[in-house]
Amino acid sequence: MSQGDSNPAAIPHAAEDIQGDDRWMSQHNRFVLDCKDKEPDVLFVGDSMVQLMQQYEIWRELFSPLHALNFGIGGDTTRHVLWRLKNGELENIKPKVIVVWVGTNNHENTAEEVAGGIEAIVQLINTRQPQAKIIVLGLLPRGEKPNPLRQKNAKVNQLLKVSLPKLTNVQLLDTDGGFVHSDGAISCHDMFDFLHLTGGGYAKICKPLHELIMQLLEETPEEKQTTIA
Amino acid sequence: MVQLMQQYEIWRELFSPLHALNFGIGGDTTRHVLWRLKNGELENIKPKVIVVWVGTNNHENTAEEVAGGIEAIVQLINTRQPQAKIIVLGLLPRGEKPNPLRQKNAKVNQLLKVSLPKLTNVQLLDTDGGFVHSDGAISCHDMFDFLHLTGGGYAKICKPLHELIMQLLEETPEEKQTTIA
């Protein structure tokens, strides 16, 4: 089902340079250049949850060896990711696995709209990269104590659990990470600002993620690739 | 800039051994830091050195106002923590290519270079880091999003910062502290 204009979270939108240093576009342009130079087998795309992962040692340990590229931009919503993927970040590459992690910043959208935005991203990837197996990561809980955003993110995950099986070549990896303790609190040792993960927090997510990626990579038949001149 | 520092190994290597606390919050402006320092974050402690690094998010303020905000923070600390030696870190350049925010941040640093010597117990550490290359570009290897530092980027800043802190700590006479019950 196409989202069209009925779901605001599924309308591609480039970030405007409000602050004055044009960093969003600089990052997007760099990713487009990466697509021309590099041949990733695994592509990560999303918001700061994706972007920050590359700053920790765990990226080099688990994902660099898989020839992974990281196209995360902090603050991005589903609309930004859709725009980027439509405007060069899926060109010239043929990854076997694409990891999508976005949605926690969609503050102006309902859970239904966010889930719809993620589905639109999956469908776009299906069209442009039909060979790619997609892993959608569930949205993590956030905030030190229970709050509406936790419920909203959980709702998005519930909706995706139902809708993603109906789409092609995609699965949901809803790794709780055990971040929410029995008293409902999240520790700053897992999320240093109760949103972004510490190295330890990432380790809890990346272990199952890495296993799943390895599984999907092993399932992919080795293709003979003509060298890109 | 302060908050993320603690997420890299360099914090544990250089600053944890100095019994350092990190009170950085992403997105904060001078106004937020002033509020926090007035509302508990300087209570019950007696640090020998206080490092202040804020100002790059003050988008609604002019360079003069930002410098003034940083001076106000210094003066507040002087009042509440008269024993503390303050290091104010200069604002770093940002953005991949030359842009107005680089000029603004540089202007703040220039103003502080003039104003801070007139205040008490404070110095400016304006470490360029060599982040801006000859073509005017900043590399994502230093600033992964052209604002926030990578581990390598932090190393360039933290080395001179650590040296200065060590120097200031050595200058401080050891006090006999009564244990807080």
Tell me which residue in B7, B100, B148 faces A198 most closely, judged by beta carbons: B7
Handedness of CA A76, A77, A82, A83 (dihedral sign): negative
What pLDDT does residue A3 have? Answer: 52
Tell me which residue in A20, A55, A74 faces B99 most closely, judged by beta carbons: A20
Does the distance separating the beta carbons of B95 and A26 come in below 8 Å? yes
Query: HSE (CB half, 13 Å, CA atoms) of B121?
Result: 22
What pLDDT does residue A1 have? Answer: 46
User: Which residue in A13, A67, A196, A210 is the catalytic one?
Assistant: A196
Tell me which residue in A22, A51, A193 faces B144 most closely, judged by beta carbons: A51
B162 within domain boundaries: yes
Query: HSE (CB half, 13 Å, CA atoms) of A125?
Result: 31
A222 within domain boundaries: no
Provide the pLDDT confidence category of residue A224 given band limits of 50, 70 and 90.
very low
B46 within domain boundaries: yes
Collapsing DSSP to helix, strand or coil, A172 comes out as strand
| CATH code of the domain covering residue B147 | 3.40.50.1110
What pLDDT does residue B28 have? Answer: 98
Q: Which structure tokens are listed for B3?
A: 């908050």
User: Which residue in A34, A47, A48, A76 is the catalytic one?
Assistant: A48
Distance from CA of B5 to the nearest CA of A (A): 11
Residue A37 is a catalytic residue: no
By the CB < 8 Å criterion, does A199 face chain B?
yes
A149 within domain boundaries: yes
Does the distance separating the beta carbons of A55 and B144 come in below 8 Å? yes
- Lowest-pLDDT range of A5-9, A181-185, B165-169: A5-9
* B51, containing H or E segment: strand B49-52
Mutation site for B-interface testing, chosen from A26, A33, A47 by largest number of B Cβ within 10 Å: A26
A11 within domain boundaries: no
Distance from CA of A4 to the nearest CA of B (A): 31
Helices A111-128, A78-86: axis angle to 10 degrees equals 10
Chain B residue at shortest CA distance from A72: B145
What pLDDT does residue A71 have? Answer: 98
Q: What is the mean pLDDT of chain A?
A: 94
A135 within domain boundaries: yes
What pLDDT does residue B73 have? Answer: 98
Residues of B near A (CB-CB distance < 8 A)?
Answer: 3, 6-9, 25-26, 59, 94-97, 99-102, 140, 144-148, 150-151
Q: Give the mean pLDDT of A84-111.
A: 98
Q: What is this model's ipTM?
A: 0.91
Provide the pLDDT confidence category of residue A211 given band limits of 50, 70 and 90.
very high
Distance from CA of B170 to the nearest CA of A (A): 31
d(CA B160, CA B164): 6
Residue A182 is a catalytic residue: no
Provide the pLDDT confidence category of residue A4 given band limits of 50, 70 and 90.
low
Q: Give the mean pLDDT of A76-104.
A: 98
Domain extent for A81: 23-215
B106 within domain boundaries: yes
What pLDDT does residue B127 have? Answer: 86
Provide the pLDDT confidence category of residue A223 given band limits of 50, 70 and 90.
low
Does the pLDDT at position A129 exceed 60?
A: yes
Model pTM above 0.90: yes
Residues of A in contact with B8 (CB under 8 A): 55
What pLDDT does residue B174 have? Answer: 65
Residue A190 is a catalytic residue: no
Does the distance separating the beta carbons of B3 and A21 come in below 8 Å? no
B33 within domain boundaries: yes
Q: What is the tens place of the pLDDT at every residue in A156-168?
A: 999 999 999 999 9
What pLDDT does residue A123 have? Answer: 98
A:B CB pairs within 8 Å: 58
Query: Considering its fold, how many domains does chain B have in total?
Result: 1
| CATH code of the domain covering residue A174 | 3.40.50.1110
pLDDT in tens, chain B (181 residues): 999 999 999 999 999 999 999 999 999 999 999 999 999 999 999 999 999 999 999 999 999 999 999 999 999 999 999 999 999 999 999 999 999 999 999 999 999 999 999 999 999 999 877 999 999 999 999 999 999 999 999 999 999 999 999 999 998 776 544 544 4
A18 within domain boundaries: no
Provide the pLDDT confidence category of residue A5 given band limits of 50, 70 and 90.
low
Does the distance separating the beta carbons of B9 and A192 come in below 8 Å? no
- Residue among A22, A24, A23, A21 at smallest CA distance from B101: A21
Query: Considering its fold, how many domains does chain A have in total?
Result: 1
Handedness of CA A33, A35, A36, A41 (dihedral sign): positive
A158 within domain boundaries: yes
Question: Which residues on neighbouring strands pair with residue B83, listed in sequence order?
Answer: none
Does the distance separating the beta carbons of B140 and A21 come in below 8 Å? no
What pLDDT does residue B176 have? Answer: 46
Domain extent for B89: 1-171
Mutation site for A-interface testing, chosen from B61, B146, B150 by largest number of A Cβ within 10 Å: B146
